[in-house]
Amino acid sequence: MRYRMLLVVFVLLCTTLPLAGCFYSREIAHTRRDLERHYPDADFDQKVVVSLGPASLHTLGWLAGLAPEEEAQMAHDYLSEIDRVKVGVYEVRRLPDLDDFDPPSLFRFERDGWEVAVKAQEDEEIIWVLYREQYDEVRDIYAIVLNDDELVLARVQGHLNRLLERVMDDHYELRNFVADLDLK
């Protein structure tokens, strides 16, 4: 019994120590501060900021890999293609004029070589999707969504082309499998 307790503590330490400090993203917080500095009319209040780094993602992938279910194995495979996920959700206290809101012009994005993939502006919402590629693969996607209520900043790093290929292949296999079941 004592050994089992020790084992549980050891496993918890092994899994949580590498994750310490992983969950808060300084980069997302910096981007929010840059936006407030660049647009003095803007004021955002933090709701949630989450960052999952390689250690946490690999641990999650490893845990998923232990489960016998096919979906868990898929999750394990998908997580192996993702290096980092960062998300920040902020409440909007004060909003700048959306016509002037242009995050890609921030020094941070220009310096780091982000390219605009999509900008879409509706009456009360603006969406920016930026990306970076390396060796003919999309390795980084940054999405910025701003409306009257919320500012959402989200960044996903990884082998995103490979990830999508895997998802599509599995989706296709699963669909065929279900279609076979229906026929039988």
Between CA 87 and CA 28 the distance in angstroms is 7
118 belongs to the binding site for other proteins (CB under 8 A): yes
**How deeply is 26 buried, as exposed, middle or buried, from its count of CB atoms within 10 A (0-12, 13-18, 19+)?**
exposed
Interface residue with other proteins, options 116, 177, 178, 179 (CB under 8 A): 116
When the beta carbons of 70 and 137 are compared against other proteins, the nearer one is 137
165 belongs to the binding site for other proteins (CB under 8 A): yes
178 belongs to the binding site for other proteins (CB under 8 A): no
Using the rule CB under 8 A, give the single segment among 59-67, 71-79, 145-153, 165-173 that binds other proteins: 165-173
Number of Cβ atoms within 10 Å of the Cβ of 38? 17
The pairing of beta strand 137-147 with beta strand 82-94 = unpaired
124 belongs to the binding site for other proteins (CB under 8 A): no
Interface residue with other proteins, options 9, 14, 117, 179 (CB under 8 A): 117
When the beta carbons of 34 and 102 are compared against other proteins, the nearer one is 102
Residues in contact with 80: Cβ distance below 8 Å, sequence separation at least 6, in sequence order: 58, 61
Interface residue with other proteins, options 15, 73, 157, 161 (CB under 8 A): 161
Residue 167 C-beta: closest distance to other proteins, Å? 9
Q: Residue 46 pairs with which residues in a beta bridge?
A: 90
* # of chain residues touching other proteins (CB under 8 A): 23
Q: State whether residue 175 is helix, strand or coil.
A: helix
Residues in contact with 146: Cβ distance below 8 Å, sequence separation at least 6, in sequence order: 92, 95, 98, 101, 125, 126, 152
45 belongs to the binding site for other proteins (CB under 8 A): no
Interface residue with other proteins, options 11, 14, 164, 179 (CB under 8 A): 164
DSSP alpha helix (H) spans, the chain? 2-16, 26-38, 54-66, 70-80, 107-111, 160-183
Residues of this chain that bind other proteins (CB under 8 A)? 99-100, 102, 115-121, 131, 133, 136-138, 160-161, 164-165, 168, 171-172, 175
